[in-house]
Structure 1
Amino acid sequence: MERLEEARERLKAAQRVAVLTGAGISKPSGIPTFRDVEGLWRDFNPLDYATPEAYARDPQRVWEWYAWRIAKVREARPNPAHRALARLEKEVLGRGGAFLLVTQNVDGLHARAGSRNLVELHGNLLRARCEACGHRFSLPDPFTPPPFCPLCGHRARPDVVWFGEFLPEGAWERAERAFLEADLALVVGTSAEVEPAASLGRIAYASGAYLVEVNPEPTPLTPLAHLALRQGAVEGMAALLGPHLDTKGEAW
């Protein structure tokens, strides 16, 4: 309890806050995770759907899988943990501080919840990227896979980062800088196993930040955390931001 109170006080006073989120924060919204017992990789081999080679072999098959995932994302709604982070951003910026939310998720729920200082490390399911000219565009609702570029007419691919690909230009540099400079780092709903994102918590810790982890299971980051809440994202954020939550679980 003392550590939780200390974390709350440090969060209230922090001037530079960096947050990393993973699939666990979107699970309460109905978005499947990847690596737990009910995750996507239980039933689907990532080598068949999430690599450049898989797309080159059978782009229609890959697009049909992504269309299924996109439909799930469009049905989902941001949950109280997403909204809490959006309001935390406003709180920190309102007192003249700096805030950055870095997410490994591709579902767009943070933006829909109101987060603005946001880096989507792995792209966004609701966008496509032209294979020829590189133009990024939002996918219409509904759409028939595969989509085609509105500028040049060439086929487009999902605007996500597949295994073996580089992160979006500038995304890692922005994320790394925020965690290097943070006085408080918050890591929510991630296994801390997928690099390079998994290193962000360690970077913040090594730079002297107060480190908080929210995850129902221990992760490689747990031994470093000043506070590790063994809870799901919604429950953990409610515990951390308890003084700022109303009875409906809404932040502030």
Structure 2
Amino acid sequence: MVTQNISGLHLKAGSHKVYEIHGCIREMRNLIIGERRPLPELWLKSTPTDEELSCWRPHVCFIGENYDEYPLTESVEACQSCEVVLIICTGGVIHTPVWLAERAQFSGAVVVNINPNPGKIDKVSELTFRGTASEYFQEASV
């Protein structure tokens, strides 16, 4: 699963092989050495000191920043090795999902777009279903 969500909820729900291309808000990254670690529970309850925060930032990709090599490389490999790609509720305003769908399509995968609104993903999709993910999967009895 390749996701733009930064919540970490896919992993919490039990999904395996999740590539969080925009990072995870529940992790932090050291700006100097690149170390990643979970966000301390204590920080969720009280404001950390400046000393505790120095050199640390949320492990997420902000607008205008470059993606980490991991998990982007693994995301490309996953998209290029699958038979079907489901693009769920992503319009393609941020180009990376469109690019990943193109990689999958060029490798022979069927690209399925599930989205209530038209978007750039439509140009790459072999099949498009207008509606929310909940509506589609209830109708499909998945």
TM-score computed with the length of structure 1 as normaliser: 0.50
Q: Which consecutive unaligned segments of at least 5 residues does structure 2 have? A: none
State how far apart, in whole Å, the 2-side matches of 1:222 and 1:185 are.
13
What is the aligned counterpart of 1:175 among 75, 87, 106? 75
The one-character-per-residue Cα deviations of 1:160-197 (angstroms, maximum 9, x if unpaired) are 11122221223211111111222111100111121223
What is the aligned counterpart of 1:165 among 65, 84, 89? 65
Using CA pairs below 8 Å that are at least 6 residues apart, which structure has the higher relative contact order?
1
| Partner amino acid, structure 2, of 1:233 | A
What is the aligned counterpart of 1:136 among 31, 36, 47? 36
What is the aligned counterpart of 2:106 among 206, 217, 230? 206
Matched, 1:237 2:137: yes
Partner of residue 225, structure 1 = 125
| Partner amino acid, structure 1, of 2:75 | A
**Which structure dedicates a bigger proportion of its chain to helix?**
1
State how far apart, in whole Å, the 1-side matches of 2:51 and 2:111 are.
43
State how far apart, in whole Å, the 1-side matches of 2:7 and 2:94 are.
17
Please tell me whether the aligned partners of residues 213 and 222 of structure 1 are also in contact (alpha carbons under 8 angstroms): yes
Partner of residue 56, structure 2 = 156
Please tell me whether the aligned partners of residues 98 and 124 of structure 2 are also in contact (alpha carbons under 8 angstroms): no
Change (3 A) 1:132 1:204: closer
1:149 Cα shift?
8.5
1:138 Cα shift?
1.2
Partner of residue 123, structure 1 = 23
The one-character-per-residue Cα deviations of 1:117-144 (angstroms, maximum 9, x if unpaired) are 1100011011111233322221233414
**Higher Rg of the two aligned structures:** 1
| Partner amino acid, structure 2, of 1:201 | A
State how far apart, in whole Å, the 2-side matches of 1:149 and 1:135 are.
17
Please tell me whether the aligned partners of residues 229 and 236 of structure 1 are also in contact (alpha carbons under 8 angstroms): yes
Aligned residues: 140
RMSD: 2.3
Identical-pair percentage:
29
TM-score computed with the length of structure 2 as normaliser: 0.84
The equivalences for 1:60-139 within 5 A come to 101-139=1-39
State how far apart, in whole Å, the 2-side matches of 1:145 and 1:215 are.
38
1:148 Cα shift?
7.2
Q: Which consecutive unaligned segments of at least 5 residues does structure 1 have? A: 1-100, 245-252
The equivalences for 1:35-54 within 5 A come to none
